[in-house]
Amino acid sequence: MCETHKRDFIHRDIKPDNFLVGYGEDTNRVHVIDFGLAKKYRDVISGHIPFSDTKYLTGTARFASLNSHRGLELSRRDDLEAIGNMVLYFALGSLPWQNIKSSERSEKH
């Protein structure tokens, strides 16, 4: 994610489906794909994007950061939190909040 963040973008949809492992001579490389939800978080002229607390959930709910669920503007920390959720998923085989029973989708999220 460092290269993405160095280029002033946040991915906003970290999940296992968006990571590919290299093949052949590149087996030690991990490639990040699907930048459809990526967003520039700063630019040279205006600096960092302004804070907002009126956003909707962005990305895959299972791996999304708490800030995304709370409707806050996302930043680099949220990509890193989502990577942490993904590592937890690989380590445990599932996430503690998976399979929560709920009558409404919004309540589940």
Residue by residue, pLDDT tens for the chain (109 residues) are 578 999 999 999 999 999 999 999 999 999 999 999 999 999 888 888 889 999 999 999 999 999 999 999 999 999 999 999 999 999 999 999 988 888 887 777 7
Q: Tell me which DSSP letter residue 8 carries.
A: T
Give the Cα-Cα-Cα angle 103, 71, 3 (nearest 5 degrees): 120
pTM above 0.95, yes or no: no
CATH number of 2-108: 1.10.510.10
Active site residue 13: yes
Cα gap 68→51, rounded to integer Å: 13
At 1, the amino acid letter reads M
39: which 2 tokens? 């967003």
End-to-end Cα distance, the chain: 25
**What pLDDT was estimated at residue 64?**
96
Cα gap 77→104, rounded to integer Å: 29
- The catalytic residue among 13, 17, 43, 78 is 13
